[in-house]
Amino acid sequence: MVKNRKIFVLDTSVILYDHSAVKCFEEHDVAIPIQVLEELDTFKKGNDSRNYEAREFIRLVDGIANKELLSEWVPLNGPTKGKLTVIAKHELNGVNAVKIFDDDKNDHQILNAALSLKHKYKNRKVILVSKDICLRIKAKSLDIHAEDYLTGKVQDVERLYSGRTIVDDVLEERIDDLFEKGSMPAEELGLKKSEGNHFYILKHKKEHPH
């Protein structure tokens, strides 16, 4: 481990916003609390963009881990990138978010994961990254650095090719046809033909009788 590497702890809101977030912190390390994986498991099914992000993240982490144990630090992308781990156990030192907020919900367990890392790696900066402003405020009240994903990330992923397009005005009958046939040419769904492996998330609009 490199002493000056930061440790970014990502919560569920970040993953549901961008499944590739773990790759956006350059040489710094990324930790995922086990509660985040549990929450993502409930988002796997469905056609919403959050369902897509959850499924893609699970595939991504499975590919990164390969045969390695995620309880250890696993390289994200060779020696120039940081490492990834899943935090399942908390080694606390006096401060316990569950007791302080008198609630063992996942948000407070995620705070405890960050507190645990602070206790274990005293010479490194631990930062909680969340899209949830309330969770960020709670983190700061416990002396945990906290940032929004858009400001906390190192790399600007907004300019990267996302591999997906959300189309929210597809006629309901077209989506029914797609489910019935299993596949359809893009043109029949009113979509432009794309190059390579591109995903479309289709949301229907109902036709209103005149």
What tokens appear for 167 in the block? 């189309």
74 neighbors 29 (Cβ within 8 angstroms): no
Round to whole Å and give the CA distance between 210 and 207: 9
Alpha-carbon span 210 to 201, nearest angstrom = 28
Q: Are 31 and 128 in contact (CB under 8 A)?
A: no
Domains and CATH numbers, the chain: 7-157 (3.40.50.1010), 161-205 (no CATH)
Mapped onto helix, strand or coil, the DSSP state of residue 157 is helix
Judge whether 112 and 120 are in contact, CB under 8 Å. no
pLDDT at 152: 56
Query: 97 and 138 in contact (C-beta within 8 Å)?
Result: yes
Q: Residue 130 in contact with residue 104, Cβ under 8 Å?
A: no
Which tokens belong to 63?
Answer: 């590919």
- Residue 73 has a pLDDT of 87
Predicted confidence at residue 128, as pLDDT, reads: 95
pLDDT value at position 27? 86
Phi/psi at 95 (nearest 5 deg)?
-90, 125
Q: Model's pTM, two decimal places?
A: 0.68
Each residue's pLDDT, cut to its tens digit, for the chain (210 residues) gives 455 789 999 999 999 999 999 988 888 999 999 999 999 999 888 888 899 999 999 999 888 887 777 888 888 877 677 899 999 877 766 676 766 665 668 888 999 999 999 988 989 999 999 999 999 999 999 999 999 998 555 544 444 445 667 777 777 777 777 777 777 777 776 676 665 556 777 776 655 554
Interaxial angle between packed helices 106-120 and 133-141, expressed in degrees from 0 to 180 and rounded to the nearest 10: 40
Task: Give the span between the Cα atoms of 45 and 173, in whole angstroms.
Answer: 22
